């Protein structure tokens, strides 16, 4: 059986068809909102979807009470849930402007990342990098410092060259490195706590094709040469299998080769889903040998396509995720300790981890902000399972290695802990209070992060 990394990861979540809230929802009057994984749910008193910035300004000026901007609901953490109004900016989307000289393009902030590739190609541009999936909105993705893979690439917020924000009082502020520059550095990773972002300009490049190669290799071997591989490939990452010596490895490089990107085979996906279900039934010790044997059968695969069709994937099923970014030089040891702990504590998880490098940037609150590059390490659990015991066990390991939690993923840190991790955290809090004196944007989760 030949299974590609894409097929394997898509299948890992097949079992996650999840609707735990169905009975609760039927008893509620307000239409419920829930996030992609189903782990976050709320009953907002209303939803407002402005067709223009002016409509948004009017709404903000004539209302009071809590508001939360929402993108496509792909965050695992409780950034969005509110009893007040959700601000949905789907209508503020699409390509608004572009500059053929600088290769910059302006989009409505509600544009899905996956809807940007083709319009950009038509104007001779392409995004520098993309995350693992592309269903997020531009505003939502940048608000949490969403990143892809690659030591040469910052998170998406680092590609932003200017952005427009509407404050909770309805004022419009344009920011860039030369205009309201402090706000620019804060608002590129805003947690949705500074106002409603309505448009963003991104630095792009000329269109390009990429070749993705996947293979299976022992985790230790990959770690030994990880820095070299990360430097030699445009994108390089691995997905270590739990209870195993092996990882799925992915390298992506630019190419002039012809496009050849066959869709994943449903038979292989089904076969892997079956194997996953079987592993889950095994005692932890037997699982190790079984998964190693299976990993050794996974054959290498290749795909060539336009950059935006290679960089992101489709995830068929639902899961919850915790991700911390640790200094790159501590990444390997942190990963080893997590994998060892999963085995020693016999955690019954069969979902691969994800291990990738992200370049440092100059925003205030990106997980990679500062003077060194980071290794982003993710752990996952299917949405149908209780993720708490596993995440609670692993989270202190991330802390030990100086980790910063991904804002959009599950974590338990509060203001006191976060202040120690970000030199500009207090500046962010002050700016938040200045722009939002009534605290309209602060839901309970953001109060825990920013107010204490
Ligand atoms: C399957 C899956 C794969 C993922 N892969 C990656 C990955 O590869 N790399 C990575 O880094 N992350 C990844 N993530 C996490 C995801 O990219 C982030 O959580 C992202 O923030 C979600 O974007 P969204 O559009 O769904 O925004 P939401 O989750 O809806 O909102 C996120 C934040 O953005 C704010 N926001 C939304 N719109 C606006 C606006 N107009 N103005 C101001 N604030 C706004 C919200 O208030 C909230 O604080 C993944 C998530 C999933 C479910």
- Mind listing the pLDDT tens digit for each residue in 70-129? 999 999 999 999 999 999 999 999 999 999 999 999 999 999 999 999 999 999 999 999
Distance CA 201, CA 108 (A): 9
Give the residue with greater pLDDT, 318 vs 276. 318
Q: Is 138 touching ligand 1 by the criterion CB < 6 Å?
A: no
Q: Which ligand 1 atom lies nearest to the CA of residue 407? A: 19
Q: Is the Cβ–Cβ distance between 157 and 406 less than 8 Å?
A: no
Ligand 1 near 70 CB (within 6 A): yes
Ligand 1 centroid – CA 409 distance (Å)? 9
Structural contact between residues 436 and 65, judged by C-beta atoms closer than 8 angstroms: no
Tokens found for residue 290 = 């079984």
Mutational pocket test of ligand 1: of 40, 86, 192, 197, the residue with most ligand atoms within 8 Å of the beta carbon: 192
Atom of ligand 1 nearest to the CA of 138: 25
The mean per-residue pLDDT over the stretch 293-308 comes to 94
Q: Is pLDDT above 50 for 445?
A: yes
Question: Can you tell me the mean pLDDT for 156-162?
Answer: 98
Q: Report which ligand 1 atom has the smallest distance to the Cα of 112.
A: 25
**pLDDT tens-digit readout, 103-113:** 999 999 999 99
Nearest to 5 by CA among 310, 451, 223: 310
Give me the pLDDT at residue 263, please: 84
Reference 414, options 425, 401, 400, 427; nearest CA is 425
Residue 37 CA, closest ligand 1 atom number: 53
In degrees rounded to 5, what are phi and psi of residue 434?
-70, -45
Check if the beta carbon of residue 161 is closer than 8 Å to that of residue 202: yes
Taking only the tens place, the pLDDT of each residue in 380-401 is 999 999 999 999 999 999 999 9
Rounded CA-CA distance 112/94 in Å is: 9
**Which residues lie below 8 Å from residue 368, measured CB to CB, with a gap of 6+?**
145, 147, 154, 155, 325, 358, 359, 360, 361, 374
Beta strand pairing call for 319-327 and 404-405: antiparallel
Does 235 sit in the ligand 1 pocket, CB within 6 Å? Answer: no
0.85 exceeded by pTM = yes
- Atom of ligand 1 minimally distant from the CA of 74: 26
Atom of ligand 1 nearest to the CA of 77: 19
Chain centroid to CA 204: how far?
20
Check if the beta carbon of residue 199 is closer than 8 Å to that of residue 163. Answer: yes
Q: How many CB atoms lie within 10 A of CB 225?
A: 12
Q: State the average pLDDT over residues 11-30.
A: 37
The CB of 168 under 6 Å from ligand 1? The reply is no
Pick the atom of ligand 1 nearest to 406's CA.
Answer: 11
Strand partners, 240: 247
141, 159 Cβ separation under 8 angstroms: no
For residue 39 and ligand 1, the question of a CB distance below 6 A is answered with: no
Q: Is the CB of 75 under 6 A from ligand 1?
A: yes
The band of 29, judged by pLDDT with boundaries at 50, 70 and 90, is: low
The pLDDT-based confidence of 8 (bands split at 50, 70, 90) is: very low
E strands in 138-269: 160-166, 172-175, 196-203, 209-218, 235-240, 246-255
Distances (CA, A) of 142 to 57, 66, 227, 421: 22, 22, 26, 19
The per-residue pLDDT for 331 is 98
Distances (CA, A) of 220 to 231, 284, 336, 339: 18, 21, 9, 11
Q: Is the pLDDT of residue 240 over 80?
A: yes
- Tell me how far CA of residue 335 lies from CA of 242, 273, 377, in angstroms: 11, 25, 7
Instruction: Give residue 415's pLDDT.
Output: 98
Residue nearest ligand 1's atom 21 by CA: 141
Residue 425: HSE in the Cβ half-sphere, 13 Å Cα cutoff: 16
Which ligand 1 atom minimizes the distance to the CA of 194?
Answer: 43
Whether 73 lines ligand 1, by a CB cut-off of 6 Å, is yes
Residue 7 or residue 314, greater confidence: 314
> Structure tokens of 222?
């990959």
136 pocket-lining for ligand 1 (C-beta < 6 Å): yes
Query: What CATH number labels 5-10+209-405?
Result: 3.40.462.10
Identify whether the C-beta of residue 276 lies closer than 8 Å to the C-beta of residue 261.
Answer: no
Domains of the chain, residue spans: 5-10+209-405
CA of 140 to the centre of ligand 1 (A): 4
- Helix-helix angle 284-297:266-281, to 10 degrees: 160
* Arithmetic mean of pLDDT, 370-378: 98
Mean pLDDT score across all residues of the chain? 92
**Share above pLDDT 90 across residues of the chain, in percent, rounded to a whole number:** 84
What proportions of the chain, in percent to the nearest 5, are helix, strand and coil? 35, 25, 40
Nearest to 134 by CA among 306, 9, 313, 305: 313
Ligand 1 centroid, distance to 75 Cα (angstroms): 5
CA gap 131, 134 in Å, rounded:
7
Q: CA nearest 145: which of 309, 335, 321, 364?
A: 364
Q: Average of pLDDT values for 203-219?
A: 98
pLDDT of 4: 46
Ligand 1: residue of 41, 52, 143 to mutate (most ligand atoms within 8 A of CB) is: 143
Q: What is the pLDDT averaged over residues 16-35?
A: 52
Strands (E), 219-245: 235-240
The answer to whether 159 and 150 have CB atoms below 8 angstroms apart is no
Closest CA to 214 of 8, 380, 1: 8
In terms of residues, how long is the chain?
Answer: 452
The pLDDT confidence band at residue 19, using thresholds 50, 70 and 90, is very low
CB neighbour list of residue 270: distance below 8 Å, 6 or more residues apart: 11
Three-class DSSP category at 446: helix
Phi, psi of 264 (to 5 degrees): -60, 145
Q: Is the pLDDT of residue 7 over 80?
A: no
Distance 405 CA to ligand 1 centre (A): 14
């Amino acid at each position: 059986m030949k299974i590609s990394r894409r097929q394997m990861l898509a299948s890992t979540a097949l079992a996650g068809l999840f609707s735990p809230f169905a009975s609760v929802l039927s008893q509620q009057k307000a239409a419920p909102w829930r996030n992609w994984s189903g782990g976050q749910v709320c009953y907002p008193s209303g939803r407002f979807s402005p067709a223009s910035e002016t409509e948004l300004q009017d709404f903000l000026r004539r209302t009071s009470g809590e508001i939360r901007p929402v993108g496509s609901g792909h965050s695992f953490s409780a950034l969005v849930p509110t009893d007040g109004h959700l601000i949905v900016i789907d209508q503020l989307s699409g390509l608004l402007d572009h500059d053929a000289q600088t290769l910059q393009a302006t989009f409505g902030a509600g544009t899905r990342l996956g809807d940007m590739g083709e319009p950009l190609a038509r104007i001779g541009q392409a995004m520098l990098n993309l995350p693992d999936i592309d269903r997020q909105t531009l505003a939502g993705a940048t608000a949490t410092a969403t990143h892809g893979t690659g030591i040469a690439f910052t998170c998406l917020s680092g590609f932003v060259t200017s952005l427009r924000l509407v404050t909770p009082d309805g004022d419009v502020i344009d920011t860039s490195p030369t205009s309201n520059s402090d706000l620019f550095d804060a608002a590129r990773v805003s947690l949705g706590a500074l106002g409603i972002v309505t448009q963003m300009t991104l630095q792009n490049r000329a269109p390009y094709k990429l070749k993705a190669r996947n293979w299976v290799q022992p985790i230790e071997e990959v770690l030994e040469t990880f820095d070299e591989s990360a430097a030699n490939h445009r994108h390089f990452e691995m997905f270590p299998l739990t209870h195993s010596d092996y990882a799925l490895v992915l390298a992506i490089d630019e190419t002039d080769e012809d496009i050849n990107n066959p869709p994943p085979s449903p038979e292989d996906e089904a076969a892997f889903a079956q194997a996953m279900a079987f592993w889950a039934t095994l005692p932890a010790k037997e699982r190790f040998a079984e998964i190693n044997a299976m990993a050794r059968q996974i054959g290498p695969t290749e795909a060539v396509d336009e950059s935006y069709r290679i960089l992101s994937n489709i995830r068929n099923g639902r899961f919850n995720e915790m991700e911390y970014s640790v200094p790159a030089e501590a990444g390997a040891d942190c990963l080893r300790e997590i994998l060892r702990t999963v085995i020693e504590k016999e955690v019954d998880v069969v979902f691969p981890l994800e291990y990738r490098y992200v370049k440092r940037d100059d925003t205030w609150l990106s997980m990679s902000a500062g003077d060194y590059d980071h290794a982003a390490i993710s752990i996952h659990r299917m949405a149908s399972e209780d993720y708490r015991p596993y995440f609670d066990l692993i989270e202190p390991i991330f802390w030990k290695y100086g980790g910063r939690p991904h804002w959009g993923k599950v974590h338990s840190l509060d203001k006191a802990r976060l202040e120690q991790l970000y030199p500009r955290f207090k500046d962010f809090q002050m700016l938040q209070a200045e722009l939002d004196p009534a605290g309209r944007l602060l839901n309970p989760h953001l109060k825990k992060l920013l107010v204490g």
